[in-house]
A and B are shown apart, each in its own frame.
Chain A
């Protein structure tokens, strides 16, 4: 546990050692605002809630999270530091967790910095703050799930670009599998069981339920399970691919 914390601190600091952190945060905030105000019609709907803000998070994460996760292992493998890192007296679990938690905490920092939206709706009206808290938690968990997928895929390659593209593609699948685009395409000819399963694996389905204010433990468990599974896969993949 101690080692996890030390790795976590080093990793988190390394985000801020390069312009990446600041660029990421600025782009995240600008895009979140743009989507909410212009596409989500934040003011025009005449409702005091943050749904137009949160509903675009899956799409934002789709583009931005792979940019965070791509470096997790690909960079270590490319520069050879993985050999130094994994010959320190730490376990694979500590290594994988420390790195993942740092990336997740970074995404969390970006998310927390959206607090002016929350303040704005509270000034303009009286929103259901319980739903907003739940939405933040849901968004944070979803970011973690995307990151865990990206981390595992980052262990597969030395190239950060490949890691980015593959992660974006896989995350896209997990996002849209429950969207109306895919479901209406399948509707009528695909077996109902398949559609239900596809929808179940969609981040959209689970996240939309949360931001509508329907807090179901199963939605939270879904994201946590995705994370756990991907982190487990991450450890195995690092072990398999580290020396290539």
Chain B
């Protein structure tokens, strides 16, 4: 796989504070990299360095083989960037703003019109093209920022919290859009919404305190959870004491009682690396318990995320 974004030993210090500490990774065409981390972890700072807005203290990034420090203008041509908060000139209309960006990116006349049209269509901005950006809702503002980033059909997309502040339908649309674009591009999105990583990313990097803690696929990432492959069992009759019998099963490490939106249930946690669904179903059948629900958990990203970032803090 061809690496479109190559980040090497990127480091940024603000006075005594190290915001980004020796971050190295690469992203290839067709990959969607989820950049995860608590607020202040260094996600945005890293993105600002990759896009050439901030000069790194040490290390560098290259975009399509072009070093962002040595050849900034050429490298920036290949990047579509949505900065945090999707800033845009408030007194301009989306139409005026997009034509400005199109011209700066070297498109004129019919070519500019065609590209703006496509970007507007992809971000469904058609209805607000002639309203000043300052009067638009948060969702539309974010989409103006996205349209601007997609305009020149860049090989590399860097999106800083692309779905922040959007309603569930809009989030869904943006994720679909990322999915559509993904095969052609190298995409980095930052987020602190973990379901988003599951929904769109092919890879996840967890960063905390400026350091990369994990670089893995979302699936393997979830597998680090203690609850990976555990079995959630909900009995129709809460009076039955299943705990003792479950604990005696081979491969079972512990049995926990969980109570959440779905109701009260038992969570049977396996010993590391084992699968216990077969044993649990056998037991349920032989004991003749009335089952309300039974399923295998794949492990929550949230738990892993909290474990890792708390440990680092």
Contacts and interface: CB of A to CB of B under 8 A. Distances in A.
Interface string B12-55: 00000000000000000000000000000000000010011110
Interface of B: 48, 51-54, 73-74, 76-77, 79, 81, 83-85, 87-92, 96, 100-101, 103-105, 145, 148
Taking residues whose C-beta sits less than 8 angstroms from the other chain, chain A's interface range is: 20 to 34
B265 to A, nearest CB: 46
A120 interface: no
B91 A83 contact: no
Interface string A74-89: 0000011101101111
Nearest to B105: A89
9 contacts: A10-B92, A17-B91, A83-B83, A83-B87, A84-B81, A88-B105, A89-B104, A90-B104, A243-B53
Given A6-B103, A17-B92, A88 B76 contact: yes
A197 interface: no
Nearest to B103: A6
Contact of A18 (B91, B96, B148): B91
A205 B92 CA distance: 41
A91 interface: yes
Given A80-B85, A81-B87, A88 B54 contact: no
Contacts of A80: 83-85, 87
Contacts of A6: 100, 103-104
A7 B79 CA distance: 19
Contact of B104 (A13, A88, A242, A243): A88
A18 B105 CA distance: 26
Given A3-B104, A10-B100, A14-B92, A87 B87 contact: no
Contacts of B96: 13
B73 A87 contact: no
A88 B51 CA distance: 9
A84 B73 contact: no
Contacts of B84: 80, 83
B77 A89 contact: yes
| Residue from B48, B74, B81, B91 whose CB has the most chain A CB atoms within 10 Å | B91
B78 to A, nearest CB: 9
